[in-house]
A and B are shown apart, each in its own frame.
Chain A
Amino acid sequence: AQSVTQLGSHVSVSEGALVLLRCNYSSSVPPYLFWYVQYPNQGLQLLLKYTSAATLVKGINGFEAEFKKSETSFHLTKPSAHMSDAAEYFCAVSDLGDKIIFGKGTRLHILP
């Protein structure tokens, strides 16, 4: 069965610092992996997705994630945090385009 684990329900970084949000997955087949962002009282916006092409995936707003099969990880990074990055981030996994399983989310706080 597919599952996603996001390490850290809250992460705080200073403005301008590196953002690192951790995600590990479990899947019996090569997965599709996603990162979504959710702002308060809004739906989800796709940041990026991995679908078995390049292992380093670039997304919107300067985010990127690297698929590491040996570590079953798909961590999300951004070199320099901006105040507008404060939001809830969800890692998700899907087997061959089947339903998406979401992680519990990580709330990113940006410190001035």
Chain B
Amino acid sequence: GAVVSQHPSWVICKSGTSVKIECRSLDFQATTMFWYRQFPKQSLMLMATSNEGSKATYEQGVEKDKFLINHASLTLSTLTVTSAHPEDSSFYICSASEQGLQETQYFGPGTRLLVL
């Protein structure tokens, strides 16, 4: 149980285009989802926290207009990287937690984004 999927697993795009990454909880209802960014050989940095039906809460230094997060249902959250640039190339990982069990996050397999 407690499986989180991400799609796509990797994406290559041209500079200036927008990329959407999906995060789905497959066998539980995720009241809260988290989006992380991981640079090579570094730790995960929390970008934003989203609760179903509410606006996402962004961490300091994360541009909310660039990284659009939508958590429209209890099983789906999306991260859209708008007008992507090469510096946005990174490994993006989502996680999800159930209501009442927010101390445990289940992580997706990650999405590798390469912006040319």
Q: Which residues of A line the B interface, CB within 8 A?
A: 32, 36, 41-46, 49, 51, 90, 94, 96-105
Q: Name B109's contact: one of A42, A49, A98 (CB within 8 Å).
A: A42
The answer to whether B46 and A100 touch across the interface, beta carbons within 8 angstroms, is yes
Q: How far is the CA of A98 from the CA of B106 in the complex (A)?
A: 14
Which 5 A-B pairs give the minimum distances between C-beta atoms? A43-B107, A97-B103, A97-B102, A44-B107, A43-B109
- Interface of B, secondary structure class, is strand
Interface size for B (C-beta < 8 A) is 21
B49 interface residue, CB < 8 Å from A?
Answer: yes
Interface string of B98-109 (1 = CB under 8 A from A): 000011111111
Which chain B positions have C-beta within 8 A of A49? Answer: 103-104
Interface positions, chain B 16-55, Cβ under 8 Å from A, are 34, 42-44, 46, 49
Q: Which residues of B line the A interface, CB within 8 A?
A: 4, 6, 34, 42-44, 46, 49, 91, 93, 95, 102-110, 112
The answer to whether A99 and B108 touch across the interface, beta carbons within 8 angstroms, is no
The answer to whether B44 and A99 touch across the interface, beta carbons within 8 angstroms, is no
The answer to whether B43 and A45 touch across the interface, beta carbons within 8 angstroms, is no
